[in-house]
Structure 1
């Protein structure tokens, strides 16, 4: 499985929310794209990742 271009070890039954928690990311402050498709954040808890998924996590950064 790839996350932001880096190979990571695949773990079965891992959801998007589990992955975000591994990286200490707030689900309300990121957009997740899997295999070139954006996943709605309402599905983060139920979407189970697959071994060959290409995942991009984009974080929102506030400024002023």
Structure 2
């Protein structure tokens, strides 16, 4: 399948991902299970929104991406 155009964190992008879970995996470089947790059992520290609505991680796998989707992926950082 060809890449689809999206807006990722306010910037134009293209992706081969077809679900929000696949996009998070692509961005983080980590395998993500269907429940939204990292496949290796560690912590992820990521939140995701599609078209201005936060998507719970348990729904990432069932949330399809579409051309022109507006996606925000936020990573928690520790420190000051």
TM-score of the aligned structures, taking structure 1 as reference length: 0.79
User: What root-mean-square deviation, in Å, do the aligned CA atoms of Structure 1 and Structure 2 show?
Assistant: 2.1
Deviation at 1:62, TM superposition (A): 2.4
**Large movers: runs of 4+ above 4 Å:** none
Question: Could you list the runs of 5+ residues in structure 1 that have no partner in the other structure?
Answer: none
Quick one: distance in 1 between partners of 2:48 and 2:28? 14
SS at match of 1:62: coil
SS at match of 1:45: helix
Quick one: distance in 2 between partners of 1:25 and 1:62? 19
> Which residue of 5, 8, 20 corresponds with 1:3?
8
Asked whether 1:23 is paired with 2:27, we answer: yes
> Which residue of 43, 47, 52 corresponds with 2:63?
47
Q: Which has the higher contact order (CA 8 A, sep 6+)?
A: 1
Deviation at 1:2, TM superposition (A): 0.3
Question: Could you list the runs of 5+ residues in structure 2 that have no partner in the other structure?
Answer: 1-5, 31-35, 37-43
Alignment: residue pair count: 63
